[in-house]
Amino acid sequence: QKEVEQNSGPLSVPEGAIASLNCTYSDRGSQSFFWYRQYSGKSPELIMSIYSNGDKEDGRFTAQLNKASQYVSLLIRDSQPSDSATYLCAVTLPSGNTPLVFGKGTRLSVIA
C-alpha cells in the first residue's frame, strides 16, 4: 500500500517567516516527488518537483529530499498571506508514468 503522510495542520506562520512543510512516504521505490498548492475549491497547482537527494530552490521555495529517510519537505521563505493554501505532497514510482499518490495536504495559514 503506497502511502504519503502529511500533518494536516493548520500550520500558522507570521508574514515574512519561513514555513516548513513535511511529508513522508512509505514506498521506498518512489522516485519522483512533487509539491502542489491547492486553494480552497481550486485545482492542484504544481510548484516544485524534485528527483534527487538534496535541496532544490526556486524563488522563495526550497524542496528537500532525503530518500534514505523517505522524507521530503518544502520551505517557503518570506511567507505571504497569498501563500495561505493547502500544500499537497505527491510521489510516483520509477516505472513509466505511474500515477501520483497524494497526501492529504497541510493547510498553511500566513498571518499578516
Enumerate binding residues for other proteins (CB under 8 A).
32, 34, 36, 42-46, 49, 88, 90, 92, 96-105
Q: Which is nearer to other proteins, 17 or 93 (CB)?
A: 93
Q: Which is nearer to other proteins, 67 or 104 (CB)?
A: 104
Provide, rounded to whole angstroms, the least separation between the CB of residue 14 and other proteins: 27
Q: Which is nearer to other proteins, 79 or 103 (CB)?
A: 103
Q: What is the DSSP pairing of strand 106-111 with strand 11-14?
A: parallel
For 24, counting Cβ atoms within 10 Å of its Cβ (0-12 exposed, 13-18 middle, 19+ buried), the class is middle
